[in-house]
Structure 1
């Protein structure tokens, strides 16, 4: 029961922190404690400090975002359709989720630039998907395709190249050409 209460508190704190971050407000431990109805010490005990809270928020947003992309990949049997779905999911999610967009594009936010770890995690998951679904592909091609798809998605978030559906189709085509399939 105590673990569930702690998890619920953690979720509530991160929800409040996300609302503040999306609004462009500074993540203030006293303000978050006030809004959640706990002591500052409770927050410091759970997250360490403001940077620890920001890291937890980034981790949660990253995991949720990447889970949606992998789900889109896994939802298609055809490799081209899978990459269209994944790129489309990434572009759509980032367009409707201001926290994800800010994190991916390196836009100024309440907790600084944290896009590097997200790009690295996205690249790693994309490569993992390819290795699972197509173990016959050369590792160098998989690594290149995974890195390219991630950077193309981020590039299109910063400077959109058209409707998400069209961009997703183009990105999928590039990935398959890299993989020579």
Structure 2
């Protein structure tokens, strides 16, 4: 019982720190974020802040991973709102790209002000983000589509996550077109017998 209360208190403290850090990053840019200001805004000591996240980079990693989980909540809902693979992934990728374009914290990640420290967390150091997306979305597909091969689902969800992140960082096409392209790839890999019936991206 004591451990459960301790875990809950620690989680609440951690969430409070991340809320304060997100607000600071949006208001001041990542370079303008000060650890002391985050500690003060979240009501913890600076030492507690460092004990929890080690350093500013550790705080950045935690922020990006929490943002990823928040996006994945919406992606999961999008997947569950359809039955056919193609429709599932058009909805999921469309949600991801639209939500990313509107999110103020992600904008701080992608701007020049935050690119030195934050952008690598979505590019060269994106492993934790990709694994989180792959594991979460694989579980959804395995539950909704038990007819599909589990190993194939893992491959497809990881590839889709990588492509979605690529479109977020470097958007070359309109959202709808990007969503259709990624959905076609997933659909053709997981259900090759349906490739002739899937709508074609323009």
Which whole-Å CA distance do the structure 2 matches of 1:54 and 1:173 have between them?
33
**RMSD of aligned Cα (Å):** 3.1
* Shift of residue 103, structure 1, vs aligned partner: 6.0
Quick one: structure 1 residues 59 and 144, their matched pair in 2 at CA, closer, same or farther if it must change by over 3 Å? closer
Match of 1:79 in 2: 85
Unaligned runs of 5+ in 2: 195-202
Summarize the alignment of residues 133-152 of structure 1 with structure 2, pairs less than 5 Å apart: 133-152=144-163
Please report the TM-score for the alignment, with normalisation by the length of structure 2. 0.71
Does structure 1 residue 177 correspond to structure 2 residue 188?
A: yes
Does structure 1 residue 114 correspond to structure 2 residue 125?
A: no
Summarize the alignment of residues 15-34 of structure 1 with structure 2, pairs less than 5 Å apart: 15-22=19-26, 23-25=29-31, 27-34=33-40
Which whole-Å CA distance do the structure 1 matches of 2:155 and 2:51 have between them?
42
Quick one: structure 1 residues 6 and 139, their matched pair in 2 at CA, closer, same or farther if it must change by over 3 Å? closer
Which whole-Å CA distance do the structure 1 matches of 2:19 and 2:116 have between them?
16
Asked if 1 retains the 8 angstrom alpha-carbon contact of 2:90 and 2:180, the reply is yes
Unaligned runs of 5+ in 1: none
Does structure 1 residue 13 correspond to structure 2 residue 22?
A: no
* Shift of residue 85, structure 1, vs aligned partner: 0.8
Which whole-Å CA distance do the structure 2 matches of 1:24 and 1:61 have between them?
15
Mean alpha-carbon deviation: is it higher for 66-75 or for 141-150?
141-150
Which whole-Å CA distance do the structure 1 matches of 2:21 and 2:186 have between them?
36
Quick one: structure 1 residues 19 and 148, their matched pair in 2 at CA, closer, same or farther if it must change by over 3 Å? same
**Structure 2 SS opposite 1:18:** helix
Please report the TM-score for the alignment, with normalisation by the length of structure 1. 0.78
